[in-house]
Amino acid sequence: MAILPVITAPDRRLKVVSASVGAVDAAVRRLLDDMLETMYLAPGIGLAAIQVGAPRRLIVVDVAGQNEPPSPLRLVDPVVTWRSEDVATYEEGCLSLPEHYAEVERPARMRVRYTDVDNRAAELEADGLLATCVQHEIDHLDGTLFVDHISALKRGIILRKLAKAKKAQLAG
């Protein structure tokens, strides 16, 4: 396994619509394992392939608490098939928008269809933090960040700060 560099905003690649994967092969499985390792080290609870520069419809998620055993999920070509009308609000963060957080409202429950690492069709129904996290990661596959769900004013503040931080980093 390997730790992969995570792309941070602002970066055009984060706006890309990722391509379907289709069949899961050894290279896809390796990328998913690398994504998980990268996510755990960060640490984070979700990561999409585009965040490590691979524009493919792959996400990994693990919302297990600190005192719970790990429960990694590897979702290939995930598609949301149902969303609840009731909504939930969580303070979201993102490894591509380091150190910035905002409250985002999303459907509280959802179902997602995907391909598992053994090329079997699978379905997951989620609520709570897992539902929010899976929706956040699937958004990445369509070039959407959590800041795209908040006011233009708040989004502008966060993106300007990130741009400034990036510039300072390059200069330093």
How many residues at the interface with Ni ion, by CB under 5 A?
Answer: 1
Residue 75 or 94 with smaller CB distance to Ni ion: 94
> Greatest CA separation found in the chain?
48
58 scored as a contact of Ni ion (CB under 5 A): no
Residue 12 or 118 with smaller CB distance to Ni ion: 12
Judge whether 137 counts as a catalytic residue: yes
Token readout for 19 is 């391509």
Residue 14 or 76 with smaller CB distance to Ni ion: 14
104 scored as a contact of Ni ion (CB under 5 A): no
Instruction: Please choose, out of 28-36, 86-94, 117-125, 152-160, the segment that lies near Ni ion by the rule CB under 5 A.
Output: 86-94
Amino acid at 139: D
Query: Please, is 63 exposed, middle or buried when counting C-beta atoms within 10 Å of its C-beta (0-12, 13-18, 19+)?
Result: middle
C-beta nearest to Ni ion: residue:
94
DSSP string, 44-68: -SEEEGGGGT--BSEEEE----TTS
Interatomic CA distance for residues 135 and 126, integer angstroms: 10
Give least dist CB 52 to Ni ion, A: 12
Give least dist CB 147 to Ni ion, A: 10
94 scored as a contact of Ni ion (CB under 5 A): yes
Interatomic CA distance for residues 15 and 132, integer angstroms: 20
| Residues classed as catalytic | 137
Residues near Ni ion, by CB under 5 A = 94
